């Protein structure tokens, strides 16, 4: 057992033990530790006796400011500081937080005990059933070829740098950004849009700017963390409704009142279940209760769309039934890191929205913009969607999804998926990890999704289907899962 020397203000002993949990022998029913004054030679004073910790009182809990930090020393004091007692504490007796590193170590140990510790993995040799490269635009080299062609077209003599050199409000704005936004508007048939650096940046920046104290924000219980974090930053009141339960949502809208605004947060495809909401029903509620829908289209791009807007998302696929006033009641977020396969995200809606976000979305105002060549690539990818160049990929993706769902049904399993995300819920975290490792040993990359990403008891294999998967690969995947799914 190691010994550490700590310097503590004498006032600390007057009932102030907040922040310390001591595991040691008890003295008269209270935890005790060897807290005898130490002489200049580092030895206990012979006349001193171990003292028991006093029980914390209400007054001792009032303020963290009343509890000075414990200062570790090396034990070689030349003099005793005024108002302080030098104490010897057995390190194993004391589980209080001394520094942020102690706190981190404790949490990480808890994660390991609960099989919740994650790590980074690079395993390109495994067959990919976990990434969001739904259309295989990265896997088969299509995007690499596109980027190289854009670099050649740009030429070394043009006035385009690799980095944007600043935020778009301070010399980081380039024509390729506006071109990409115009391409998106034509593709998704939106009045206007603004390009952000990522989906997380877009959602946190837009929602923290648009909502605020006094607003009521009704969030689907399974909304992505980026949506919820944006609301937390805004100071608006967050109210959850049961997943995809419009009856519950309407009851909340009808009973919760505010002098300010009401918002509804949802996703076109939910990232852990792969299911979709009743979009028309959501917009009907928005009209009835003067609310605004904020819809994240991340996992819908490249899967849903229409003849006029191929692959442009769920709202584009339902546009005919949603009415001409849809963008009076809705804002869409379109992150590009899934099927489109690049970093970036659009927030789209009425033309006033873009002007407002340029001035108030902090993640936009205070962040360096993407490289201009990336914005040019985004515009080129969207043009290919609009020109139906990816239609065959989307058709193959939908065919593969239908095929694996038929295999899942044959095993008498249920998957809520309506998209390229096909979860198989196994419940127990350890079981999911075991199956994931089993698949890895057979050359397949399927990740186990565990709490806190999903609720306790709902750990799952999150299988993502790609357009380039073969039926034999899908057959083999389900053959390997079958023994575990039936247990």
220 has pLDDT over 90: yes
Q: What's the mean pLDDT in 14-43? A: 44
pLDDT over 90 percentage in the chain: 66
In the prediction, which pLDDT does 26 show?
Answer: 44
Angstrom CA distances, 363 to 82, 206, 209, 233, 252, stand at 49, 8, 10, 12, 31
Domains, the chain: 3-113 (no CATH), 127-135+391-485 (3.90.1150.10), 142-386 (3.40.640.10)
Q: Tell me how crowded residue 336 is: count the other CB atoms within 10 A of its CB.
A: 27
CB 417 within 8 A of CB 460: no
What single DSSP character describes residue 189? T
What single DSSP character describes residue 101? H
Round to whole Å and give the CA distance between 364 and 167: 7
Q: What's the mean pLDDT in 34-63? A: 46
Round to whole Å and give the CA distance between 370 and 350: 24
Q: What's the mean pLDDT in 9-36? A: 44
84 has pLDDT over 50: no
Q: At what angle do helices 246-255 and 279-289 cross, to 10 degrees?
A: 10
What confidence tens digit (pLDDT) does each residue in 466-482 have? 999 999 999 999 999 99
What confidence tens digit (pLDDT) does each residue in 221-260 have? 999 999 999 999 999 999 999 999 999 999 999 999 888 9
In the prediction, which pLDDT does 296 show?
Answer: 98
132 has pLDDT over 60: yes
361 has pLDDT over 50: yes
In the prediction, which pLDDT does 167 show?
Answer: 92
The token duo for 69 is 């930090």
277 has pLDDT over 60: yes
In the prediction, which pLDDT does 484 show?
Answer: 85
Q: Tell me how crowded residue 338 is: count the other CB atoms within 10 A of its CB.
A: 26
Round to whole Å and give the CA distance between 130 and 413: 20
Q: What is the mean pLDDT of the chain?
A: 84
192 has pLDDT over 50: yes
What confidence tens digit (pLDDT) does each residue in 97-118 have? 578 888 899 899 998 988 788 8
């Amino acid at each position: 057992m190691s010994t550490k020397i700590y310097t503590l203000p004498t006032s600390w002993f007057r009932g102030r033990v907040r922040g310390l949990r001591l595991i040691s022998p008890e003295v008269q029913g209270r935890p005790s530790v060897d807290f005898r004054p130490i002489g200049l030679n580092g030895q206990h004073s012979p006349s001193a006796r171990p003292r028991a910790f006093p029980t914390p009182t209400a007054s001792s809990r009032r303020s963290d400011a009343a509890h000075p930090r414990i200062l570790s020393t090396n034990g070689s004091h030349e003099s005793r500081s005024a108002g302080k007692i030098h104490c010897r504490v057995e390190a194993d007796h004391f589980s209080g937080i001394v520094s942020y590193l102690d706190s981190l170590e404790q949490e990480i140990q808890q994660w390991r005990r609960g099989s919740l510790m994650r790590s980074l993995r690079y395993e390109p040799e495994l067959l990919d059933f976990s990434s969001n490269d739904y259309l295989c635009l990265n896997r088969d080299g299509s995007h690499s070829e596109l980027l190289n062609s854009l670099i050649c077209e740009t030429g070394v003599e043009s006035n385009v740098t690799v980095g944007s050199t600043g935020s778009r409000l301070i010399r980081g704005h380039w024509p390729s950004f506006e071109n990409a936004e115009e391409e998106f508007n034509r593709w998704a048939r939106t009045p206007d849009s603004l390009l952000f650096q990522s989906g997380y940046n877009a959602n946190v920046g837009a929602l923290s700017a648009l909502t605020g104290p006094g607003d009521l924000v009704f969030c689907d219980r399974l909304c992505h963390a980026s949506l919820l974090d944006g609301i937390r930053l805004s100071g608006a009141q967050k109210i959850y409704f049961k997943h995809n339960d419009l009856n519950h949502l309407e009851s909340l809208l009808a009973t919760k009142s505010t002098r300010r605004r009401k918002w509804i947060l949802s996703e076109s495809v939910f990232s852990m279940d792969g299911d979709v909401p009743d979009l028309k029903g959501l917009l009907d509620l928005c009209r009835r209760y003067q609310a605004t829908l904020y819809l994240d289209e991340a996992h819908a791009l490249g899967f849903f769309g229409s003849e006029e807007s191929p692959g442009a998302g769920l709202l584009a696929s339902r546009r005919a039934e949603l009415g001409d006033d849809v963008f009076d009641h809705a804002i869409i977020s379109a992150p590009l890191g899934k099927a489109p396969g690049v970093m970036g995200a659009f927030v789209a809606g009425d033309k006033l929205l873009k002007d407002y976000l340029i001035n108030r979305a902090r993640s936009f105002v205070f962040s360096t913009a993407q490289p201009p060549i990336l914005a040019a690539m985004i515009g080129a990818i969207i043009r290919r969607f609009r020109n139906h160049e990816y239609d065959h990929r989307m058709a193959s993706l939908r065919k593969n999804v239908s095929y694996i769902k038929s295999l899942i049904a044959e095993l008498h399993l249920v998957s809520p998926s309506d998209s390229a995300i096909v979860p198989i819920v196994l419940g127990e975290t350890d079981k999911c990890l075991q199956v994931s490792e089993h698949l890895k040993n057979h050359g397949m990359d399927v990740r186990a999704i565990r709490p806190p990403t999903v609720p306790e008891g709902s750990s799952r294999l999150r299988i993502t289907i790609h357009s380039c998967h073969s039926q034999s690969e899908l057959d083999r995947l389900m053959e390997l899962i079958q023994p575990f799914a039936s247990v």
